[in-house]
Structure 1
């Protein structure tokens, strides 16, 4: 009888062409399915994730599911996969899920974080894990701008022109930031996110902090529903899919 296995994993996105499988490219999904195929003695196993991440984007708490006829315990699944996966992917947790569980469609919310290093000098060892932004920032103005992002809005201005969904209304439950030493960390929790949405919001908020745009320009951009009214897209390396929320 088939069982559905749910796994939570972390990965360093630096050397991947994103999560989703692409012919001839190294991807997270490709590595996962290759490991599962080995465990299943050559049988192809399809993996479903909570969502895709782009090239260079990291995950602290991505969630996947797959179906299997093998009778391994959750702990055995965790050990078997980690023994076969490369060093830049790790399974943090495995458990048997209900047959109705779906990594993407059962999710009730997602949390993304974005890390910005605000020191003057570049750190060569952190260049793949945060965005270096060595400019003076008005943190109070940025905090006010972030609060305008919270709530239910049409985020057309804050998504890529490549976005292929018609309904661009999303609810952001929490948009805030913390500063510790020279690391600025943004946190966003919402019921869903559009393509490049977090990176465009971060790029726009940083422009507010630099004085390049007003706090009120956030409201104007939301109302305009036009990508040209928001700021630049922040680069991928600062972005982390932090957590996926499910009922129970």
Structure 2
């Protein structure tokens, strides 16, 4: 009897080559499948992730649909998987989804990009961009980020090759971008949309910070690039600051 399980995963992506399984690379999906194989003593399972996070990117709420050939006790199954997984990867929740559930179609994904413009905290540097150019003006950065909200052609803010850009839709909608300081006084840039293209958020952050510093290009250049005019944005913000916060289905 086949059974589907919906997992919620948290992970520190620093030492991994992203979510999706790749030959000769340590990946989150690869480690999960290794743990599943060790527990079930079989490879007769299917794993499908909701978001293909890039190398070095973290997650608090990655969603994963696992199809098994048997029906496990979910609490025991969760505990066994967590014992078999590396310490940097944790299953925080496991449920049986509704029959009509489709992991490929979330309503919204929320990502945070975190910037530390305060201090040299070595204990958080794996999870934030260290900014040593003075305190960031939240209002000024928000004004730049507002340019990216709405529907635009993000092909010049993506890691897609020219061949991929002909196949993968690059006209996307970003529902909201909010810049704020969290309780640790870090700058948080929150992105909300149905989905994102490879490197899209990191390239947006890189370009926005360049405009904020009056380097490389201006707001006018950003507006042109969002129409697909000009060269691809050359700045990709480091992966360490990016975290998948939540995936919403209803």
Q: How does the TM-score come out when normalised to structure 2?
A: 0.89
CA–CA separation in structure 2 for the residues paired with 1:112 and 1:35: 27
Counterpart of 2:64 in structure 1 is: 64
Unaligned runs of 5+ in 2: none
CA–CA separation in structure 1 for the residues paired with 2:168 and 2:2: 36
Counterpart of 1:177 in structure 2 is: 179
Counterpart of 1:193 in structure 2 is: 196
Superposed, 1:18-37 pairs within 5 Å as 18-37=18-37
CA–CA separation in structure 2 for the residues paired with 1:143 and 1:197: 17
Unaligned runs of 5+ in 1: none
Cα deviation 1:81-100 (Å, max 9, x = unaligned): 11211100010110001344
Counterpart of 1:110 in structure 2 is: 109
Counterpart of 1:203 in structure 2 is: 206
8 Å contact from structure 1 (residues 207, 231) kept in 2: no
Cα deviation 1:34-82 (Å, max 9, x = unaligned): 1111221233422110121122111111000011132223322322211
RMSD of aligned Cα (Å): 2.0
CA–CA separation in structure 2 for the residues paired with 1:220 and 1:141: 20
Instruction: Classify the secondary structure of the residue corresponding to 2:181.
Output: strand
CA–CA separation in structure 2 for the residues paired with 1:211 and 1:179: 22
* 1:240 pairs with one of 235, 239, 243: 243
Structure 1 stretches of 4+ moved >4 Å: none
Cα deviation 1:174-218 (Å, max 9, x = unaligned): 101112465111100012111100000101111122232434443
8 Å contact from structure 1 (residues 152, 169) kept in 2: yes
How many matched pairs?
A: 244
Shift of 1:134: 1.0
Superposed, 1:34-53 pairs within 5 Å as 34-53=34-53
Superposed, 1:81-160 pairs within 5 Å as 81-103=81-103, 105-119=104-118, 121-136=119-134, 137-160=136-159
CA–CA separation in structure 2 for the residues paired with 1:226 and 1:192: 24
8 Å contact from structure 1 (residues 135, 210) kept in 2: no
Shift of 1:123: 3.1
Shift of 1:16: 1.0
